[in-house]
């Protein structure tokens, strides 16, 4: 298939190479030349870790129009705070029959993308879908070289509106075998495990990050037994809001078994025994996607949904508040609240997810 990957960062570079290995014609797009400059001429991506090989892709470009118009499938692999901007830009170039997949959507990513296309008067018949998670745990070592720490067994995926899921099933079987199409994007959105693992771990390790010169492992050292208790409470609140919305999602511990085949007695032990997390280091600064993506685009929509349902999410709300104090930004107002997404209530939101209006 002709596939364009949008974003040449930690995930996009690895995904472009992996899709090429599977026999697809892959174009890698990045807004700036910095991350793809070595690829513009060579077209060679080097993979390390779980896969050790060099892969030739079809093209690497900063020309968004060309990258989008020539694709059958468009894989969006950028932080969730950039989804809206990407939707606005590619709305000008989309063609009937194309499929757009957010990798991942975080919470309400496909919903935001779909409504943004509508607001920009894009009338093309396209599929907009979101993956629950990204297929790899990966890091960009330098432009054109990516390390894959682990590959997930399963990645749930769904469309907005849900009526497009049957069409999606016919397409994704030829994209990634790990994709499992589920009935509704409420499941993929509320199965957002990044909301559980990332923000609290960063915030409760900030003193160590800012005081010590040596980097440490994010999951295996950053998540102590006490931090894991906070993650479990965030997880409990997430699952409770999902259930009130009508979807049963896996707990974080169940999810680790589902995607990595790790099943220990506690969340803490499951994280420690997950080999795919070994070697992943903590970010260098508080100003990273674990904060600016996973708080406003993951925790905030869960909290906003809870408020509209008359539910309390005190642990999630406290993390949003502490993150806002540390960054000196109102992360709640920056995030995907129902109001910011353009909905007055839960019923309006569910109707768009189900049937596609707005």
**Each residue's pLDDT tens digit, 241-278:** 999 999 999 999 999 999 999 999 999 999 999 999 99
Kindly state whether residues 81 and 110 are assigned to the same domain: yes
Query: pLDDT truncated to tens, each residue of the chain (358 aa)?
Result: 999 999 999 999 999 999 999 999 999 999 988 889 889 989 999 999 999 999 999 999 999 999 999 899 999 999 999 999 999 999 999 999 999 999 999 999 999 999 999 999 999 999 999 999 999 999 999 999 999 999 999 999 999 999 999 999 999 988 999 999 999 999 999 999 999 999 999 999 999 999 876 789 999 999 999 999 999 999 999 999 999 999 999 999 999 999 999 999 999 999 999 999 999 999 988 999 999 999 999 999 999 999 999 999 999 999 999 999 999 999 999 999 999 999 999 999 999 999 866 6
Of the three residues 163, 190, 217, the one that is the final residue of a domain is 190
The secondary structure element, H or E, covering residue 194 is helix 194-203
What is d(CA 108, CA 130) in angstroms, rounded to the nearest whole number? Answer: 9
Same domain? For 50 and 178 the reply is yes
Residues 65 and 200 in one domain: no
**Residues recognised as catalytic:** 198, 294
Longest dimension (CA), the chain: 56
> Which CATH number do you get for residue 254?
1.10.1040.10
In a shared domain, residues 185 and 240: no
Closest CA to 117 of 130, 127, 107: 127
Q: Which of 50, 196, 219 shows the shortest CA–CA distance to 135?
A: 50
Both tokens of residue 160? 């907005």
Question: 190, 225, 241: which is the final residue of a domain?
Answer: 190
Number of folded domains that form the chain? 2
H or E, element range at 5: strand 2-6
Q: Could you tell me if 338 and 273 lie in one domain?
A: yes
Give 70's contacts (C-beta < 8 A, 6+ positions apart).
2, 4, 27
pLDDT in tens, 318-338: 999 999 999 999 999 999 999
- For residue 102, give the CATH number of its domain: 3.40.50.720
Surface-to-core class of residue 343, CB atoms within 10 Å of its CB (0-12 exposed, 13-18 middle, 19+ buried): buried
112 plus 247 within the same structural domain: no
Domain match, 42 and 185 both: yes
* One domain for residues 201 and 161: no
User: Last residue of a domain, which of 171, 190, 209?
Assistant: 190
Same domain, 103 and 231: no
CA 165 – CA 170 distance, rounded (Å): 9
Note whether 165 and 20 are same-domain residues: yes
End-to-end CA distance of the chain: 31
Q: Which residue range forms the structural domain that includes residue 294? A: 194-355
Asked whether residue 233 falls in the same domain as residue 107, the answer is no
Q: Are residues 149 and 246 in the same domain?
A: no
Burial annotation 293-318 (CB, 10 A radius, 16+ → b, else e) = bbbbbbbbbbbbbbebeeeebebbbe
């Amino acid at each position: 298939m002709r596939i364009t990957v949008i974003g040449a960062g930690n995930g996009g570079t690895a995904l472009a190479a992996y899709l090429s290995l599977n026999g697809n014609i892959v174009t890698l797009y990045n807004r700036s030349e910095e991350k793809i400059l070595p690829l513009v001429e060579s077209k060679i991506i080097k993979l390390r870790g779980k896969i050790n090989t060099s892969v030739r892709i079809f093209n690497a470009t900063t020309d968004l129009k060309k990258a989008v118009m020539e694709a059958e499938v468009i894989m969006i692999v950028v932080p969730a705070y950039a989804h809206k901007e990407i939707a606005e830009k590619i709305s000008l170039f989309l063609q009937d029959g194309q499929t757009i997949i957010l990798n991942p959507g975080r919470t309400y990513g496909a919903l935001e993308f779909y409504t943004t296309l509508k607001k920009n008067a894009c009338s093309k018949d396209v599929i907009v879908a979101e993956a629950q998670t990204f297929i790899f745990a990966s890091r960009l070592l330098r432009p054109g070289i990516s390390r894959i720490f682990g590959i997930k067994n399963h990645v749930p995926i769904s469309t907005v509106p849900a009526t497009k899921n049957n069409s999606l099933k016919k397409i994704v079987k030829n994209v990634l075998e790990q994709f499992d199409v589920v009935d509704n994007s409420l499941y993929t959105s509320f199965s957002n495990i990044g909301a559980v693992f990332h923000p609290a771990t960063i915030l409760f390790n900030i003193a160590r990050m800012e005081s010590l010169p040596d980097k440490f492992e994010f999951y295996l050292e950053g998540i102590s037994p006490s931090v894991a208790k906070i993650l479990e409470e965030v997880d409990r609140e997430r699952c409770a809001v999902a259930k009130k919305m009508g979807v049963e999602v896996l707990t974080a511990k169940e999810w680790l078994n589902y995607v990595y085949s790790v099943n220990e007695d506690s969340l803490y032990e499951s994280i420690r025994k997950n080999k795919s997390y070994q070697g992943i280091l903590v970010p260098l600064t508080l100003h990273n996607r674990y904060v600016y993506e996973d708080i406003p685009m993951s925790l905030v929509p869960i909290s906003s949904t809870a408020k509209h349902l008359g539910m309390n999410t005190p642990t999630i709300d406290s993390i949003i508040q502490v993150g806002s104090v540390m960054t000196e930004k109102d992360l709640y107002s920056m995030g995907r609240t129902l109001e910011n997404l353009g909905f007055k209530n839960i019923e309006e939101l569910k109707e768009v997810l189900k049937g596609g209006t707005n």
